Chains A and B, each alone.
Chain A
């Protein structure tokens, strides 16, 4: 019933608008007016200028209203800080250009609207002017390019030797995370070994694999560089850590990687954000199927002591011959139903 009423109201509004518009048109024909008149030009230009003024005010107001979400309240990684600085410089430049050009555009509409006795000025080109506004953007952009590439090389440079290595393999619709054990080295993998029991295709003959462990959370130690070796089993995924300014695609068959240095522990961030429940989260940023939106994985940045304590608690995944207790997660393949997936993430039991 309400549906019909809403439809009726909409139709009625359309009809009234149409009749008014039609009447205006007929009146215009009777008066012998053209497609624009002095008064229509004035009205339209006033609406446009009001739009500019109210729009700029609304932009400022909404920016302030969402200020606390802006860049997630700051970066939690070392390279993220330089990205954020670059963001601010880019914003300053763009904001100046934005305000100047929009104000000129809308102001000119009002100032030079057609009206009785007003004439246009023939002005077809001016080489000096055009050179000026070719050279200035070129210089500004050169600066931004140089700044950007310099930052880019700082971020994408080789990882420091002491960086801890963690392997993350994405699949529909969860993350398989593998840490090296005491030896600091990950065991070899072989695609042909991948199966329901051996989800990563780990070569158990390689002794380096015997102390590898697969936790249900990613833990990092604050201030220690960490290198993520990324991959995917089925389709493209993207390893996305918003607070750390990290994003890198996970590609089946092609290894990718990203290293960075986390600077704020989860505990400190909880105090900073005044939110006792705060956690860093890993998300997927490349469309990977129907539960793409549901690939949450908890990420924790520990102090040195917390990290050592956590490490000590981890059990290797390797089960010597005869053990039937395969990792529970390994049977979970293929598209997960949303309800199942919303309990989310791989829970590796040992």
Chain B
């Protein structure tokens, strides 16, 4: 294994790859199965663990949404198989209202925290940070391992909550008190809520341990020559995501602890003057609105914790497959920074109709709409990146393009909701459901899929089947629009979200057919995800083998490692970096790896292009 990656050239030689197949045999003592795959401290294995657990949660969370979509589409039908699957939650094949809300709550909790935070940021921050900055592993591999296992603990506690007698938390993923604080208010607010709070507490520890590692690794462990402004946009995105997480998640932890106090030892942080179940409660002087401030102080940055990694992945995949530099690299970095800062001062736009002081409301309108500026810059820069490119429409590239389309569609409706006057009629209607599912849910999923398809060869040494990938992409893109586009119409007709059925109201009951239409497409899109899951596991073992180190002809460091890199990533020395990561189609070269020193004629070229 004498090959030194430092000398890797811009045009990779396809034959070399085969030499590296045994790279993982080198450098380390023999590890047994448990050390290597279960309690692994290798960031790449931990990344895969996050990914696979995240996928398991995605299937569960997605399935939950199908169950409640059945109720919304056919409120008067019974589905015997629901009773088979859900037992007393769906007695006689009819979903019970309490468990409808439990499913909605769990769907939100699982997708936001377990899938799009742990599964997305956990996977790709872990996988790409050391590989792309040129480090052998995270700053603290042990803490990194703990981060994953706290996620497992959190998952176990949440799973247990699904099986308790009174059912899991059912007051929405936002867990607003008093509904979620009082067992008298809803069955799910009993032990189910204590478990929910405990699970979220464990999850926050997981995020903190991971985040500290990501930030430390990016700051301290970059290889020689890897200055901040030579980092790929993926790393910038993960870096700021980790910072947002470290600053905002602890606030949710505080809120969760105070809520546990209110529930179990009689404090009054979040409640006052409550008469329920025929009795006056002793809570006095607390404010339910305070909880909302604390919750959204995390809750809003959380949507950027979800979307920034997707933006980073998409920027990288677009550049590689357009064979062009990302347009406006520095503008992209500063727009991430701008979003990061603004994400902390927009939280109260979730609270325009809580009785917030109108002046405070107007300040939050200003900052909220301001955040559209960096977002717009990013969209224009992505579109300019593909302009005059040489677009290779791989599965990863298709999902990246889908991301941009969805981010535009969902981002624009944010301009309505962020403006407090328009929020009055639209707040808590299906318009909001459509908005955040498209801009945060779907877009983040598309970014994640772009990342999975693109880096799968690096993760497993094989390609995902591209025909199945195409099927997955087109059904998901078309189906997603079919699910969420019509929800705008329902929202514009005033239909509120979180309704078990609509027949009681003459003003909300015109959408029976639309609800059926949405549910049918939800089932189709879910089926397409099963195709993906199958492809994921099948290709791991039987997929087309990767035969060169750098199958996408990319410039970044992860493609200078062997096809199946062992713990430590580079068998020889860590490569040195000489340039930024976006030299595609420059000066007659297809691409120039970051490890290639700048030549004299290139300097001439640079001068001519400025």
A binds B: yes
Residues 312 to 366 of chain B near chain A (Cβ within 8 Å): 322-325, 327-331, 353-355, 358, 361-362, 365-366
The reply to whether B422 and A87 contact each other, CB–CB distance below 8 Å, is yes
A101 interface residue (CB < 8 Å to B):
yes
B257 interface residue (CB < 8 Å to A):
no
The reply to whether A194 and B328 contact each other, CB–CB distance below 8 Å, is no
Q: Which of A17, A25, A62, A257 contacts B531 (CB 8 A)?
A: A17
Tell whether A172 pairs with B412 under 8 Å between CB atoms, given A151-B421, A254-B289.
Answer: no
A36 interface residue (CB < 8 Å to B):
yes
Q: Which of B370, B468, B499 contacts A18 (CB 8 A)?
A: B468
A236 interface residue (CB < 8 Å to B):
yes
Binds B, one of A214-222, A289-297, A317-325: A289-297
A21 interface residue (CB < 8 Å to B):
yes
A164 interface residue (CB < 8 Å to B):
no
Binds A, one of B4-12, B113-121, B423-431: B423-431
The reply to whether B510 and A281 contact each other, CB–CB distance below 8 Å, is no
The reply to whether B271 and A252 contact each other, CB–CB distance below 8 Å, is yes
B507 interface residue (CB < 8 Å to A):
yes
**Which B residues touch A113, using CB under 8 A?**
391, 393
Q: Which of B182, B387, B425, B530 contacts A112 (CB 8 A)?
A: B387
Tell whether A94 pairs with B416 under 8 Å between CB atoms, given A62-B486, A148-B422, A283-B505.
Answer: yes
Q: How far is the CA of A288 from the CA of B413 in the complex (A)?
A: 26
Q: How large is the interface on B (under 10, 10 to 19, 20 to 34, 35 or more residues)?
A: 35 or more
Residues 17 to 56 of chain A near chain B (Cβ within 8 Å): 17-18, 20-22, 24-25, 28-29, 35-36, 40-41, 44-45, 47-48, 51, 55
Q: How far is the CA of A129 from the CA of B463 in the complex (A)?
A: 38
Q: How far is the CA of A350 from the CA of B201 in the complex (A)?
A: 51
B170, B325, B380, most chain A CB atoms within 10 A? B380
**Which A residues touch B405, using CB under 8 A?**
102, 105-106
The reply to whether A122 and B585 contact each other, CB–CB distance below 8 Å, is yes
B122 interface residue (CB < 8 Å to A):
no
B478 interface residue (CB < 8 Å to A):
yes
B130 interface residue (CB < 8 Å to A):
no
B396 to chain A, nearest CB (A): 9
**Which A residues touch B544, using CB under 8 A?**
25, 28-29
Tell whether A148 pairs with B419 under 8 Å between CB atoms, given A18-B468, A108-B386, A342-B504.
Answer: yes
Q: How far is the CA of A184 from the CA of B331 in the complex (A)?
A: 61
Q: Which of A86, A90, A254 contacts B287 (CB 8 A)?
A: A254
Q: How far is the CA of A158 from the CA of B389 in the complex (A)?
A: 57
Tell whether A194 pairs with B280 under 8 Å between CB atoms, given A234-B178, A252-B178.
Answer: yes
A224 interface residue (CB < 8 Å to B):
no
B176 interface residue (CB < 8 Å to A):
yes
Tell whether A252 pairs with B288 under 8 Å between CB atoms, given A144-B419, A235-B179.
Answer: yes
B18 interface residue (CB < 8 Å to A):
no
**Which A residues touch B506, using CB under 8 A?**
277-279, 281
Tell whether A35 pairs with B287 under 8 Å between CB atoms, given A120-B388, A149-B366.
Answer: no
Binds A, one of B24-32, B203-211, B489-497: B489-497
Tell whether A287 pairs with B361 under 8 Å between CB atoms, given A41-B391, A124-B325, A247-B424.
Answer: no
The dominant DSSP class at the A interface is helix
**Which B residues touch A122, using CB under 8 A?**
324-325, 584-587, 609
Considering the complex, give the chain B residue whose CB is closest to the CB of A129: B384
Tell whether A112 pairs with B388 under 8 Å between CB atoms, given A123-B327, A283-B508.
Answer: yes
The reply to whether A233 and B393 contact each other, CB–CB distance below 8 Å, is no
B603 interface residue (CB < 8 Å to A):
no
**Which B residues touch A174, using CB under 8 A?**
none
The reply to whether B329 and A125 contact each other, CB–CB distance below 8 Å, is yes
B251 interface residue (CB < 8 Å to A):
no
The reply to whether B408 and A101 contact each other, CB–CB distance below 8 Å, is yes
B39 interface residue (CB < 8 Å to A):
no
A240 interface residue (CB < 8 Å to B):
yes
Q: How far is the CA of A192 from the CA of B392 in the complex (A)?
A: 71
A159 interface residue (CB < 8 Å to B):
no
Residues 128 to 185 of chain A near chain B (Cβ within 8 Å): 129-130, 133-134, 137-138, 141, 144-145, 148-149, 151-153, 155-156, 171-172
Q: How large is the interface on A (under 10, 10 to 19, 20 to 34, 35 or more residues)?
A: 35 or more
The reply to whether B186 and A289 contact each other, CB–CB distance below 8 Å, is yes
**Which B residues touch A192, using CB under 8 A?**
280
B287, B330, B381, B496, most chain A CB atoms within 10 A? B496
Query: What is the 8 Å Cβ interface bit string for chain B, positions 245-280, against chain A (1 contact, 0 not)?
Result: 000000000000000000000000001111111101
The reply to whether B496 and A22 contact each other, CB–CB distance below 8 Å, is no
A54 to chain B, nearest CB (A): 9
**Which B residues touch A125, using CB under 8 A?**
327-331
The reply to whether B384 and A123 contact each other, CB–CB distance below 8 Å, is yes
Residues 276 to 302 of chain B near chain A (Cβ within 8 Å): 276-278, 280, 286-289
A205 interface residue (CB < 8 Å to B):
no
A300 to chain B, nearest CB (A): 14
Q: How far is the CA of A228 from the CA of B598 in the complex (A)?
A: 71
A71 interface residue (CB < 8 Å to B):
yes
A53 to chain B, nearest CB (A): 13
A114 interface residue (CB < 8 Å to B):
yes
Binds A, one of B140-148, B151-159, B469-477: B469-477
The reply to whether A102 and B586 contact each other, CB–CB distance below 8 Å, is no
Given A253-B274, A287-B172, 4 new contacts (CB under 8 A): A47-B474, A94-B412, A120-B584, A121-B324
| Interface set of B (CB-CB < 8 Å, partner A) | 81, 97-98, 101, 170-172, 176, 178-179, 182, 184-186, 271-278, 280, 286-289, 322-325, 327-331, 353-355, 358, 361-362, 365-366, 369-370, 372-373, 376-377, 379-381, 383-384, 386-394, 398, 401, 404-405, 408-409, 412-413, 415-416, 419-422, 424-425, 427-429, 463, 465-468, 470-471, 474, 477-478, 481, 485-486, 489, 492-494, 496, 498-502, 504-508, 510, 527, 530-531, 534, 544, 551-552, 582, 584-587, 609
Closest 3 CB pairs of A and B: A253-B272, A242-B494, A256-B355
